[in-house]
Structure 1
Amino acid sequence: MTDIHPNQRVAVLADSQNLYHTAQSLYSRNIDYSSLLSEAVSDRELTRAIAYVIRADSPEEEKFFDALIDIGFETKIKEIKTFGDGSKKADWDVGMSLDAVTLANHVDTVVLCTGDGDFSRLCSHLRHEGVKVEVMAFKSSTAEELIEATDEFTDLSEEEDTYLL
């Protein structure tokens, strides 16, 4: 990683759904959020760490949410929506983007833990505001426009034993 100094203020925003589904589909494993946070902060000053999660009423959920808090994340929880046709939807794109824009005046770097290309415009905006943007995700499922829009990309697949349980 480049341009890291101890006084650098960092916010880490983790799109838990995106990370979970990718880790499951590629490796049938779960994300090691403790390592993810530690590597994202990397000897800098953590200002905020937020994990965006979906409540889908699965049995292990509350334990997972508690574990995230123990690791040092705030959790923002959204209920899954089920539509009349049986389809389900829940995402945090707008919430994560609003938090990132709000935090921009208080941090030097925003680390987005997601491969969702919808965040490429956010990266451009934050960089325009003078905030360094780093993305941590699995390259094979990360949108090319997101990689291009970030200052630094960390491919979690390159160190799966660090980032996966």
Structure 2
Amino acid sequence: MEAKEKFDSNLKGIAGDPIMKSANITITWYQVGATAKLEAESFWNRVESMFLLNLNQEKADLASKQEIQKLLSYKNEEGWAILSKGPVAMITGRSSTFIKVLEEFINWKDKMGKKKFEEAFKECYSEIMKTVSHCRRLDIPIVDGKAPDRMKCAECERTMEMFISYKCCSEGG
């Protein structure tokens, strides 16, 4: 709850900042998982479908592939966020990193005269990511008995170790 409150208060402060208002930038945020479990399952099913679709398309945008992969790696975790512009995901990451970027807004908001909000945000995010360690777990559903032989980390581009995960979920009965 503390992270959510930090996130909310920082976003409210940024949304109300005069620079944001003068640039006519609107921030809208949603909380996934605060709704019904069925809605959350539907969300993750769509993310898996997008991942598998992009995985098999050679011409798919690499940045989009990486953001979908990062998002899928957060499926079994709490505390993640997405910065999107309309339907396009710009950055996917841990909420703790997003909070650091939001807390640094006072230091990067002046760049918005020369850059778009999302570009300035990405730049600050990239600088913070250089100082943060990461460990990604990616559970990929096997389709038609096929799974990729290799997978690169969406965060650092190194080849990921491969593990097999099994999962059983039961709702009573």
TM-score (norm 2): 0.26
Larger proportion of strand: 1
Larger relative contact order, structure 1 or 2 (CA cutoff 8 Å, min sep 6): 1
TM-score (norm 1): 0.26
